[in-house]
Amino acid sequence: MRAITARELKQRLGVNDPPFVLDVREPWEYALCKLPGSHHIPMREIPQRLAELPAEGEIVVLCHHGVRSLQVATFLERQGFSQLYNLTGGVDAWARDVDPGMAVY
């Protein structure tokens, strides 16, 4: 697993084959703000919903500040996923560094 910054992720989202962006925050958090095109699976549901994740390709995991997403990425690594990234600073870093108009909490 590797770390990725919000600015690096923004660049990666602009390519022909962007990574799968997995948001593991709670539903109320996701309702407040989200990255365009992200896929929402709350952290507690990940074990039951592994089949919804791409078996191949890059997955960027994010949460509010990067702690829960790091735990999920570590779990996914143990499940055999290999192209994993943790968004450093989470959605909060995205709001600060990429989209200042995004709601913060």
Please list the active-site residues.
63
Phi, psi (rounded to 5 degrees) for 68? -65, -40
Closest by CA to 105, choosing from 42, 32, 41, is 32
